[in-house]
Amino acid sequence: MRLVIARCSVDYTGRLNAHLPLATRLLVHKGDGSLLVHSDGGSYKPLNWMSPPCTLTTEEPGEEEASAGVVEVWRVSHKKTGDALRVQIYEVIHDTSHELGIDPGLQKDGVEADLQRLLAEQVERISEGATLVRREYPTAIGPVDLLVRDADGAAIAVEIKRRGDIDGVEQLTRYLELLGRDPHLSPVQGVFAAQEIKPQARVLAEDRGIRCLVLDYDDMKGIESGIPRLF
C-alpha cells in the first residue's frame, strides 16, 4: 500500500463528472489497484475513489499544467467502465509504501451464532429448570436454533436473532407449525429471542402466543460495565 500526502486537485470523469479543487489530501493506492482520496475531516469515507479492476499510470504534466505548478499527473482508469480519475499533483509532502500482507478479515463478536451458543449454555434464561435437547433442531424447512424442554418436560422452540423483526416471528411461526405435528413434541411453545425486538414484531409474537426474550449479550458473556465477572 502506498500512502501519499500531496497538494493536489482531482477530476473524475465517467457516469458523472466531479472536481476537487487544489488542497492537501491523502492519496491511498492499494495493492488491488484502487485509489482513495481522503481529506483530514468530514467523514471516514473518501472524497473520491476508483475501485478495482483499475490501473494507475503516471504522466508528465502538459505545458499549461507545468506552468501552473503541477509536477506529476496520476491517471487511474477502470478496466470495465472506462471511468477515469485524474490527479494533478502540485507538491508531494510525504510518500511511503508498506507491505501489509494478507488480512484475515473482520471477526464479528455478538453475531447470531455467538448468541445461540451462549443461550444453549444458559437455557435457564429461557425457562427455569430447562434442559437443552439440541441446537439447530431440524425441520422440513430448516433448523430451529434451539429446542429445549422446560422443567415439566414441555418442548420449547427458540429462534434467535440479533435484531428481531416481523420476518423472524414469521419464521418461528412456521417452525412451530411443523414441530407441532410431531406427537413426541406437541404442544410446542415458542420463544423469540433477540438483543433488540422491534415493537411490531413483539405485538405479532404475543398475538400468536410466542414469548419474547431480550438477550443481554454482555451479561451472557459474564461482562458488566466492561469489568470481567467470575460469578
In the prediction, which pLDDT does 110 show?
Answer: 57
pLDDT digits 0-9 by tens, 49-86: 999 999 999 999 999 999 999 999 999 999 999 999 99
pTM: 0.57
In the prediction, which pLDDT does 229 show?
Answer: 46
In the prediction, which pLDDT does 15 show?
Answer: 85
In the prediction, which pLDDT does 222 show?
Answer: 83
In the prediction, which pLDDT does 231 show?
Answer: 41
In the prediction, which pLDDT does 107 show?
Answer: 61
Average confidence score pLDDT of the chain: 92
In the prediction, which pLDDT does 192 show?
Answer: 98
43-47, 184-188, 200-204: least confident range: 43-47
Per-residue pLDDT at 16 exceeds 70: yes
**Contact in structure between 73 and 61 (CB atoms under 8 Å):** yes
Per-residue pLDDT at 195 exceeds 90: yes
Per-residue pLDDT at 101 exceeds 90: no
pLDDT class for 29, splitting at 50, 70, 90?
very high
